[in-house]
Structure 1
């Protein structure tokens, strides 16, 4: 942390408290945030903070993205995924986009004029991206895309989608390509219903359908077809680290809520905090959260030095999300019956965090990645 990052943290915290938290109930009922929140976030400098200024971004690095992510997670604001928009899609464009593509999309992503999503998951496919069925065939100066995607974050508002397709269905991983789809005016593109979820009820998660959608060839990400799987593998460590950053922030929010509650709650004529079981449980959870923060901070340092490998990122993703779910469960238990009431933030956290063990690659897949590295002696 430095003075610039502390100022950004303060800006982000005030933004989420002022613009998002008061609207959470209404957004939960409508299952999505208002579209205007993206424009407000852009005006506050919270979008594309890690993208160079020449493309309209904040000119920062991953630390800036992490600070914003921490404050959003700590405020329990799930209504719009800046992580997907700024932390993932913007960096695909920065890493693999042509100069024309960067100039076309990144400045408008930074202002919130464009909302970005990444479409990987398909019905029945899960984490096995090599088996995706959405395909794109070349037709002159366009690709013609057919298929469907599901569980797409920012799916309702997205007007720019980083879309994984098979350009050569017979080539396995080498047949995967990434196309940038502008949804406005795209004939054959359709959004399905908003999906009703266990948690993160303010997040617009949707199904997307593509029926002979024409995408200009110049919207291919990278200089040739078949590089999509490699691009995904190169970017996934940062995506998984973003998930870990959010998990750590959520652990600390859960502990903050629980510590305040057990200090005030009287049981058998004494504060709940004075009971040994409460004290020991909190001691365990605080220790785990502290270890998690230290590990994630180390991973951030590795990423900034270009040294974060896929195995370490997988470790960070599975362990922090697993620990987060466990800590939130322990904290909820200390609330007793009140912990099951949605008026208490801990109940919302309990529902919201469970999916973190699934998205970004399930934790079982993360362990398989690690096990393969162990098998190779790395």
Structure 2
């Protein structure tokens, strides 16, 4: 997508983000890896740039970007360590979008300006020890007591939990209704009584991202904390924002593909074996060509589905296609990047070693690759007239 497709204001934002990534984030990658934390001063700069409010309407203090625009910004953030995008990801995604789409006006006015400014970081609490891809089987409960609900349960692998200002918590409000129908989405301010955290998760990669268990024990919130004020709609709210979230992840994967290609080409041109640059060897060229082809296909898929989303089309299957293809392609490109680097690619001093570990998670969250396959196939079968 050419920058001339957008107005001058957005093009300026893109140029600013590109400079921020190149001049501030890439040089800080090793520090994040060593300290397992994103520096506070960088998070402050992200607030100043408005990155927490990418998807929040301008009327509530955000940038109000379209899906196409958001994808372009996230693609650029994908060219550096995953941890930086993770800081804003849960706020830009369902942390704000559930409220934007289904929240009451009071909820919007209370939370969206704070989220857009980065004064409150959102965290999405859905996954549980026994509920992941089968989100409708969640056990966290919210029982009604007068004008309040009392939440009990444990959420697992919750991104940004320790730094969150609020949680979007999925809890079962009607135990008599099986599956998704009895689930409600609550806005739960961080720091209130009844919320505690497990120890920080130790992960394969993605150092600098913050995940841990969140435990709710007799956590009391007012009944008007339910998003939209209507019990039993929480799962539907989550489903409404999944298309945008999956396009977002596909855009992120595309940016990571581009960074890996850059690292691979640079190393192949500089590294010499048998008296010449390894880039001259046809088998290395084959790996580079395969990676470039897949990265280009990923880019085109993201641009197409984002455009369709903005046009108001139903793109559930296409968003799944994009998320599935881009993240799987990213895994292959990361593997080739390590192979091109040879033994050096296994060493921590090279960015491809870190990216190789980091990218593995993208095929799991926001719906595993296998979940995406099921969504895509069911869509095709419905179109063929086969009823579920």
SS of the aligned residue for 1:203 comes to coil
How far apart, in 2, do the equivalents of 1:288 and 1:92 lie?
32
1:321 paired residue number: 327
Structure 2 equivalent of residue 371 of structure 1: 377
SS of the residue 1:147 aligns to? strand
Deviations 1:40-59 (A, max 9, x none): 31222222123222211113
1:249 equivalent in structure 2: 255
1:221 is matched with which residue? 227
Matched, 1:59 2:64: yes
Q: Give the CA deviation at 1:38.
A: 3.7
The answer for the alignment partner of 2:170 in structure 1 is 164
Q: Deviations over 1:212-245 (max 9, x none)?
A: 1011111110231001111111111111111100
1:293 CA drift (Å): 0.6
8 Å Cα contact 2:305-2:315 kept in structure 1: no
Is 2:362 aligned against 1:356? yes
- CA drift of 1:18 comes to 4.5
Cα 1:36/1:109, change in 2 over 3 Å = farther
- After superposition, give the CA deviation of every residue in 1:320-373 in whole Å (9 maximum; x if it has no partner): 100110111012101000000111011111000000000001111111111212
Cα distance in 1 for partners of 2:380, 2:277 equals 48
Distance 1:322 1:161 in 2: 30
Aligned residue number for residue 124 of structure 1: 130
Aligned pair in 2 of structure 1 residues 281, 21: CA closer, same or farther (>3 Å)? closer
* CA gap 1:365/1:357 in 2 versus in 1, 3 angstroms: same
- Equivalent position of 1:4 in the other structure: 9
1:40 and 2:45 matched:
yes
> d(CA) in 2 for partners of 1:291 and 1:159?
38
Q: 1:75 aligns with which of 66, 75, 80?
A: 80
Aligned residue for 1:85, secondary structure, equals helix
- Report the secondary structure of 1:181's partner residue: strand
Contact kept? 2:156, 2:212, Cα under 8 Å: yes
| CA–CA distance in structure 2, aligned partners of residues 68 and 156 of structure 1 | 26
Counterpart of 1:170 in 2: which secondary structure?
coil
Where do residues 24-39 of structure 1 align in structure 2 (5 Å cutoff)? 24-35=29-40, 37-39=42-44
Report the counterpart of residue 18 of structure 2 in structure 1.
13
In the alignment, structure 1 residue 179 sits paired with structure 2 residue 179:
no
TM-score, normalization: structure 2? 0.93
Cα RMSD of the aligned pairs, angstroms, is 1.6
- Alpha-carbon deviations, 1:94-127, whole Å to 9, x = none? 1111111111111111211101111111112221
C-alpha deviation, 1:77, in angstroms: 4.2
What is the alpha-carbon distance in structure 2 between the residues aligned to residue 175 and residue 77 of structure 1?
A: 35
Deviations 1:251-271 (A, max 9, x none): 111001100100010011111
Unaligned stretches of 5+ residues in structure 1: none
Hey, what does 1:240 align to over in structure 2? 246
Q: How does 1:142-157 map to 2 (within 5 A)?
A: 142-157=148-163
Question: CA 1:314–1:279 in 2, change beyond 3 Å: closer, same or farther?
Answer: same
Q: Tell me, yes or no, if the aligned pair for 2:71 and 2:247 is still in contact at 8 Å.
A: no
Task: Tell me the TM-score normalised to structure 1 length.
Answer: 0.95
2:272 is matched with which residue: 220, 245, 266?
Answer: 266
After superposition, the Cα gap between the structure-2 partners of 1:142 and 1:36, relative to the gap in structure 1 and judged at 3 Å, is farther
CA–CA distance in 2 between the matches of 1:321 and 1:244? 7
Q: Per-residue deviation at 1:20?
A: 3.6
How far did residue 19 of structure 1 move? 4.4
CA change 1:30–1:208 in 2 (3 A) is: farther
